[in-house]
Amino acid sequence: MAEPAYKRRRTNQRSPSPPTYKLDDDNDDNVELYVPVAQRRQAKLAKLTSWGNSSEQTARQQQLEQEEREDEEREEERKREKARKERTLLMEAQEVHSKKAEEDSKKTEQEKAEEVDAEILAAIASRRKLASDLELAKGVSYADSLKTSWRPPRFIAARSEEQHQRLREKYHIIVDGEDPPPPIENFTDMKVPDVLVKFLKSKRITKPTPIQLQGIPTAFAGRDMIGIAFTGSGKTLAFCLPIIMFALEEETRLPYVRGEGPVGVILCPSRELATQTYENVLTWTAAMAKDGKYPQLNTLLCIGGIAMGEQSHVLNKGLHIVVATPGRLIDMLEKRRFTFDNCKYLCMDEADRMIDLGFEDDVRNIMSFFKRQRQTLLFSATMPRKIQDFAQQSLVKPVLVNVGRAGAANLDVLQVVEYVKQEAKMVYLLECLQKTPPPVIIFSENKNEVDDIQEYLLLKGVEAVAIHGSKTQEERQYAIKSFKSGAKDVMVASGVASKGLDFNDIQHVIIFSMPKEIEDYVHQIGRTGRSGKTGIATTFVNMNTPEQTLLDLKYLLMEAGQKVPPFLQSIDDPRAAQGGSLKGCPVCGGLGHGISNCPKLEDTQRRQMASHRGGDDRGGGGY
């Protein structure tokens, strides 16, 4: 009687068969069960010798031995095949690895560094477009620039593109973008009203500077633009004139009444810069209204630290132009003190600084108050490639107008770099002040040091005022006013006063402590040598100045054809030893380092981390 199946299974469990192994894990259909040779031989021998006479058994024995030899050979072959397979995989892996190593070894250190730089740049380039949240959410994008009624004079429009290009080359203007408007060499041909041309002449502004010559026609034509030109080259007029002309056109067509406007807004990263731009706009609009031929335009200064009640007389009329810092502007828009329902023009001065200072979201917020397409203009003396690329994506058919390398120093400034020991700085400062007559600006990176320098100078009988971020709005205004009017000879300032401020005929800029970021240095020395005049900048460096900064400085001096002192000459660029070209940093424009060593990037990341932790680390006094 056959045993029940469950019992047989139990028996098998008690005397288990020898273990079997799969040879080929990848293919279950062809599984070949492997029984070790010794076991196979023993089983076979027992089977063959268990029957027949002795000669038959001997013959079977020999046959068995023969089979065993064949088995062994097969076994050897199987082992060799297995080893071959394993070796091939290993070798393949090794080959791939050594090929990559060979390719890597062919790359210069410079190429490897460039690859790393490109990776870092790609990682930080993931910004959102500079557009309003509504536009972003709805995917609204405009295909065409804003239409304006301005046309260049016929004789200029009739010129060929080659002729335009020759003119640009004459003034070292580089333009980029589709179908750029023509450069125009005088204000009258730009169709600027005679009264304003006369007024500008009275201020010794007779011929447009290169950025004006290409930038004003570009803005008049309604094109979005990025304008880059060195410090003191007249960017303010280039972006104020178009807004004034658009406002005039609107007001002439149908006068603005209370609650209407503005036509356009100019955004600045600091209160001081906004105040200065506002004063320029007031001067130019007043000059036009003076002879009664043109209507009076109303301009509002919208910055933190001043009571808006003071300006209620402007808000009680139709409003044409607003000059603002981001924080106060948002506040006013949210309170609906005015709206951007008919606003068509947005200009950001020192646009890169605005983004650097963390105003990117504020700018986007401001954009969301626009109800229709706007013309957007971004201006700066230093606009590194990273911000240019990012900004270009946010504009409509933009024209890039570039006069000189973004971040290059103004060639009208004689740059002198001196090695001065920390403890000798104060005394040497007095000696340095003798180089030129006043007015002189002294820059320091540190607020306490600004105060110390002012105190020291006052003790020595020098009429000095001081300005930095911890001063009250009144103190800041007093310092600027008394220095501008000539009542004070020396202004001691921290970085806040450096960018964009236009003081009359500064003879000498002394940089008491060299800023870490070379862009700041470019802006600081740029307070002299403005509107075609020459000036001197003396910079103190010593062993406290980071080598990286000194290297940036060395290259900047070389680029500007300035004297490089021996202690700077002796600093070697570690990148030079690695071969290849020494490109400027795309984040800050510094020529002495790549992106991986960028102090500005480090600083931005530090600030971002601080703001993630909840701190508001924004500087610049933009509110």
Ligand X SMILES: Nc1ncnc2c1ncn2[C@@H]1O[C@H](COP(=O)(O)OP(=O)(O)OP(=O)(O)O)[C@@H](O)[C@H]1O
- What's the CA gap between 298 and 285, in Å, rounded? 8
- What's the CA gap between 431 and 427, in Å, rounded? 7
Does 402 bind ligand X (CB under 6 A)? Our answer is: no
Does 271 bind ligand X (CB under 6 A)? Our answer is: no
Does 197 bind ligand X (CB under 6 A)? Our answer is: no
- What's the CA gap between 274 and 349, in Å, rounded? 9
- What's the CA gap between 570 and 180, in Å, rounded? 45
How far apart are CB 568 and ligand X at their closest, in Å? Answer: 25
Does 270 bind ligand X (CB under 6 A)? Our answer is: no
Does 415 bind ligand X (CB under 6 A)? Our answer is: no
- Across-strand partners of 435? none
Per DSSP, which regions of 160-238 are E strands?
Answer: 173-176, 225-229
How far apart are CB 496 and ligand X at their closest, in Å? Answer: 14
Q: Which of 224, 502, 520, 552 binds ligand X (CB under 6 A)?
A: 502
Quick one: 594 or 620, whose CB is closer to ligand X?
A: 620
Residues 228-267 that bind ligand X (CB under 6 A): 229, 231-237
How far apart are CB 209 and ligand X at their closest, in Å? Answer: 4
Give me the amino acid identity at 102.
E
Does 302 bind ligand X (CB under 6 A)? Our answer is: no
Quick one: 146 or 347, whose CB is closer to ligand X?
A: 347
**Binding segment (CB under 6 A) for ligand X, from list 62-70, 225-233, 398-406, 567-575:** 225-233
Quick one: 235 or 328, whose CB is closer to ligand X?
A: 235
Alpha carbon of 555 to those of 513, 518, 565: distances in Å?
19, 10, 12
**Ordered DSSP codes for 134-163:** HHHHHT---SSPPP-S----HHHHTS-HHH
Q: Tell me the CB-side half-sphere exposure of residue 380, using CA atoms within 13 A.
A: 30
Give me the amino acid identity at 607.
R
347: closest CA among 227, 256, 233? 227
Q: Which of 222, 500, 535, 592 binds ligand X (CB under 6 A)?
A: 500
Q: What's the DSSP call for residue 371?
A: -
How far apart are CB 148 and ligand X at their closest, in Å? Answer: 22
**Binding segment (CB under 6 A) for ligand X, from list 39-47, 86-94, 122-130, 529-537:** 529-537
147: closest CA among 246, 227, 248? 246
Quick one: 166 or 533, whose CB is closer to ligand X?
A: 533
Phi-psi region of 461 (alpha: psi -120 to 50; beta: other; left: phi over 0): left
**Binding segment (CB under 6 A) for ligand X, from list 72-80, 114-122, 206-214, 465-473:** 206-214
C-alpha triplet 292, 298, 304: angle, nearest 5°: 150
Q: Which of 271, 320, 476, 530 binds ligand X (CB under 6 A)?
A: 530
Does 531 bind ligand X (CB under 6 A)? Our answer is: yes
Does 287 bind ligand X (CB under 6 A)? Our answer is: no
# of chain residues touching ligand X (CB under 6 A): 21
Quick one: 355 or 381, whose CB is closer to ligand X?
A: 381
Does 190 bind ligand X (CB under 6 A)? Our answer is: no
How far apart are CB 204 and ligand X at their closest, in Å? Answer: 6
How far apart are CB 233 and ligand X at their closest, in Å? Answer: 4
Quick one: 378 or 457, whose CB is closer to ligand X?
A: 378
Enter the tokens of residue 612: 């993630």
Q: Long-range contacts: 420-429, Cβ < 8 Å, 24+?
A: 420/540, 420/541, 420/542, 421/542, 422/542, 422/544, 425/512, 425/540, 426/453, 426/456, 428/540, 429/453, 429/456, 429/457, 429/510, 429/512
Quick one: 130 or 237, whose CB is closer to ligand X?
A: 237
Does 528 bind ligand X (CB under 6 A)? Our answer is: no
- What's the CA gap between 454 and 450, in Å, rounded? 6
In the block, residue with structure tokens 């205004």: 477
Give me the amino acid identity at 288.
M
Element (H, E) at 509: strand 508-511
Helices (H), 107-209: 109-124, 133-138, 154-157, 161-170, 194-202
Q: Which of 110, 132, 145, 212 binds ligand X (CB under 6 A)?
A: 212
How far apart are CB 215 and ligand X at their closest, in Å? Answer: 10
Q: Which of 209, 270, 375, 494 binds ligand X (CB under 6 A)?
A: 209
How far apart are CB 197 and ligand X at their closest, in Å? Answer: 11
Does 554 bind ligand X (CB under 6 A)? Our answer is: no
Quick one: 199 or 256, whose CB is closer to ligand X?
A: 199
How far apart are CB 232 and ligand X at their closest, in Å? Answer: 4
Does 526 bind ligand X (CB under 6 A)? Our answer is: yes
Binding footprint of ligand X on the chain (CB under 6 A): 204-205, 207-209, 212, 229, 231-237, 381, 500, 502, 526, 530-532
